Amino acid sequence: MEQRILRTECSDKTGLIAGIAQLCFKYNYNIHHQDQFVSSEDNTFFMRSVLDGDFDKADDFMQEIKAFLPADAKASLKENKKANIAVLVTKESHCLGDILMKSYSGALDANVVMVAGNYNKLEDLANKFNVPFHLVSHEGISRDEQEQRMMEVIDSYDVDYIVLAKYMRILSPKMVAHYPLGKLINIHHSFLPAFIGARPYEQAFNRGVKIIGATAHFVTNNLDEGPIITQDVISVNHRYSAENMAKAGRDVERLVLLKALNKVFDHKVFIHGNKTIVF
């Protein structure tokens, strides 16, 4: 018996859940777990259903599902398998190290197929987990050329998602557009929308903040303003320097990124405009 995940997004109407359940019964699929939500803003229905069964006739099932749903519907049947991810880095090791360790231990449902960075500082860390590392330096070449080389490296692998694990380069609109929305995931060392851009801990220190946080979000052309997946904060006080805040913030970044990745890899995140629905 297999397990797959049915994702449904469409205009809400009476009988959606009942109709989908009837089709699942027709194909002898057991609904193992189900979450649903209706956005009050635009009456959009979202549902994630975990199905158990024999999926030899999955194509027929999906044809009937799409015929039943409203014309604007987006429906997909996802295999419940590990995601293949590429990780982009610069010099900071905490997020990459956490991803590698959690992938190795099974706490992250993903295969890290490669790591690429604009410096080689983290090559030894990737090698400890037998993960290929690619240096795609930005030095001595244009931004366009560096990004083109980076995309060629990424595209040489079969990856489901690209994780910017403290990759301290602003992606150009060309590179963002090269990948579908939802494939690029970033961890930002701030509780967005506060302190966007560089040196957020210094910004926070100068404002005398009482909490610091981290935000995992999908990447768009608007810097640090893509749909937010997860966020968290910790308390700080006047005794914290900007450096102390940065050290404390690294733990929040690791935890927030791991939670976001697990949600995305488990197909629990729907992008809805510049927001997300997270089950």
Q: Which residues are catalytic?
A: 224
Cβ burial, residue 124 (10 Å; 0-12/13-18/19+): exposed
Residues 21, 24, 28, 32: is their CA dihedral positive or negative? negative
Contact criterion met (CB below 8 Å) for 72 and 16: no
Helices 242-265 and 200-207 meet at what angle, rounded to 10? 120
Strand partners, 218: 185
Dihedral sign of CA atoms 184, 94, 121, 124 in order: negative
Instruction: Tell me the two tokens of residue 131.
Output: 């993960």
Query: Whose CA is closest to 186, among 46, 83, 90, 119?
Result: 90
